[in-house]
Amino acid sequence: MREDDTMAPLLKLPIGIQAFETLREQGYVYVDKTRWIHRLATEGMFYFMSRPRRFGKSLLVSTLKCLFEGRKELFAGLWLAERTDWPWRAHPVIAVDFNGIPASDPEELKSSLGRYLRVIATRAGLTLDGEIPAVQFRELILALYQQTQTPVVVLIDEYDKPLIEHLGRGENGLAVAKANRDILRGFFGVLKDGEVSPRLRFVLLTGVSRFSKISVFSELNNLQDLSMNGQYADLLGYTQAELEQNFADHLERFSAALDCPPETVRAKLALRYNGYRFSERDISVYNPFSILNALSENQLRNYWFTSGTPTFLINLLQEKRYDLTEMEGVEVMASAFATFDLERLGLEGLLFQTGYLTIKSVQDDLYTLGYPNQEVKTAFTEALLLAYTEPPDGRMSGQTRRLGIHLRQGKLEAFFETLGAIFAAIPYTLNARRDEAYFHTIFYLLLTATGVEATSEVLTGRGRIDLAVEFADRVYVFEFKCGQSAETALRQIRERGYAGRYAGSGKAVTLIGINFDPEQRNLAEWRVEQA
């Protein structure tokens, strides 16, 4: 296909469009999610849903707002309008977006939230007498019901922003988050008030994290949590079928731009951007922000990650000395997703909620987690690498990329020469133990950040391979030692038959033993053997 003046224009891609009416009125692609939205609106009343940033939570809130305002014209041609008898009754809607509510400290949260509510009241011709947000919120709901004699809809977007923006900032930041939590607890508790609750039609809260019910929602414990509900696993994000059905023309243009067959382009996009799984139900979705940007630019880049660096997560991982080599394949119980609180920040649950880890498999009550896709794995490990090595300038980035190239081409002398230069550039002032675990971690981050398929702690029948790197035609099996010898490392690979895992793969298998010198803080020696 060649794009020229005779071709029909493509529908506009809704990059960053969070208003449903804008999307529908101005000719943007809309992936029809109204089947799920109708189920929500007819089968229940109090809901909560967490998803990573840029996943369409705000668009969901906007769609529900338009639905309950009775704006039938916006839903023309969509599943809900064509297949149901929705009554299109207009309800008063209170939509609170915490993205627009400053919360640098408790006093600012209270004052800005109060101003926000007063603006909503003024638009409805109402006046609020209360002085604190919880009282004003209650007053607003009751006044809207009294004014319209119609049940009120409450939509809360990014409820947890006043909390998570202070995480990873030491004790002072944690103290602010706790104080903000106390304000939110009372605010949300209004929704279960004995006089308020009967006057509500529908309630939805969204956010990135799932704080436990004994925390933020201790006074609002009747929320139905959809976050890991299999029926709503694809409410947000795009499935592979939705991508191909709604963006067929854009995929065709992408294929032409890359001069690749359509199936190759689909495979590349899936590897890089698909893979988020939020329930036991085995269905994965794309992050809309990443795939839309890729289709717009016809480029395979790390769009989602560059839209916001997870500084607080990196700080927490460093504070808790988390073993980064075990992030892929980490196994957790279901309780890891349900006990998140400021006093006990479970890192696996937090990494899952924020989108840096996802469900890879489920067996009974045991969940295996891993990076959702290549975009997240490469970009996150690159950010971790920078945080853990603190390079004095930008040279390390170029050297790191060369590592992957050298390994892919089998140029091991150049690979180890570059590796030694990188370790030599890491400041001696870093407060880190230079033991085998340290070198293993940095080595893993270096390779993963290049985009190669590097897997740490690979399980075999006779032990765990320290690191394996796979390419289309070859596999490298690494074993690390610190203050011993490369021959000792290589002997362990042989004696435990690590190469046998790749027997029959048709790939050349190279065994590599590496010894690090803790005094010199660098590579001491390496030995290579073909399996």
pLDDT digits (tens, 9 = 90+) for 228-256: 999 999 999 999 999 999 999 999 999 99
339 pLDDT band, cuts 50/70/90, is low
Q: Residue 418: what pLDDT?
A: 92
Alpha helices in 276-408 (DSSP H): 288-297, 303-306, 311-319, 347-353, 374-389, 395-408
Q: What is the mean pLDDT of residues 373-377?
A: 93
Q: What is the mean pLDDT of residues 265-278?
A: 96
Q: Is residue 371's pLDDT more than 50?
A: yes
Q: Residue 5: what pLDDT?
A: 45
391 pLDDT band, cuts 50/70/90, is low
Instruction: Give how far Cα 77 sits from Cα of 23, 84, 86, 155, Å.
Output: 14, 12, 14, 25
* Residue among 473, 472, 474, 509 nearest 494 (CA): 509
In whole angstroms, what is the distance from residue 55 CA to residue 123 CA? 30
Q: Name the percent of the chain lying above pLDDT 70.
A: 92
Q: What is the mean pLDDT of residues 425-438?
A: 67
Helix 170-189 vs helix 106-123: angle between axes, to the nearest 10 degrees? 30
* Residue among 480, 483, 494 nearest 447 (CA): 480
Give Cα 8 to chain centroid, integer Å: 35
Tokens of 441: 């971690």
Express the helix, strand and coil content of the chain in percent, nearest 5 each.
45, 20, 35
344 pLDDT band, cuts 50/70/90, is confident
Q: Residue 385: what pLDDT?
A: 86
Q: Residue 213: what pLDDT?
A: 53
State pLDDT tens for residues 484-523. 999 999 999 999 999 998 988 899 999 999 999 888 888 8
Reduced to 3 states (helix: H, G, I; strand: E, B; else coil), residue 19 is coil
**Could you tell me if 301 and 374 are in contact, meaning their C-beta atoms sit under 8 angstroms apart?**
no
* Residue among 139, 273, 163, 280 nearest 211 (CA): 163
Q: What is the mean pLDDT of residues 298-320?
A: 83
321 pLDDT band, cuts 50/70/90, is confident
- Residue 460: Cβ within 10 Å count: 16
* Residue among 196, 202, 241 nearest 67 (CA): 202
Q: Residue 203: what pLDDT?
A: 97
What is the phi-psi region of residue 463: left when phi exceeds 0, alpha when psi lies from -120 to 50, beta otherwise? Answer: left
Tokens of 51: 């998803």
Least confident of 101-105, 166-170, 289-293, 476-480: 166-170
170 pLDDT band, cuts 50/70/90, is confident
Average pLDDT, the chain: 90
394 pLDDT band, cuts 50/70/90, is low
Q: What is the mean pLDDT of residues 443-468?
A: 82
Least confident of 43-57, 91-105, 452-466: 452-466
Angle ∠(436,515,471) on CA atoms, nearest 5:
90
Q: Which residues fall within 8 angstroms of residue 259, CB to CB, at 6 or more apart? A: none
Q: Residue 268: what pLDDT?
A: 95
**Could you tell me if 156 and 204 are in contact, meaning their C-beta atoms sit under 8 angstroms apart?**
yes
Q: Residue 425: what pLDDT?
A: 80
Q: Residue 168: what pLDDT?
A: 77
In 186-281, beta strands by DSSP E: 200-207, 224-225
* Residue among 145, 107, 101 nearest 119 (CA): 101
| 97 φ, ψ (degrees, to nearest 5) | -110, 110
Q: Is residue 460's pLDDT more than 90?
A: no
β-pair partners for 48: 205, 225
458 pLDDT band, cuts 50/70/90, is confident
98 pLDDT band, cuts 50/70/90, is very high
Reduced to 3 states (helix: H, G, I; strand: E, B; else coil), residue 418 is helix
> How do strand 152-157 and strand 200-207 relate by DSSP bridges?
parallel
Q: Is residue 392's pLDDT more than 80?
A: no
Q: Name the percent of the chain lying above pLDDT 90.
A: 66
Give Cα 20 to chain centroid, integer Å: 23
Most confident of 378-392, 396-410, 508-522: 508-522
218 pLDDT band, cuts 50/70/90, is low
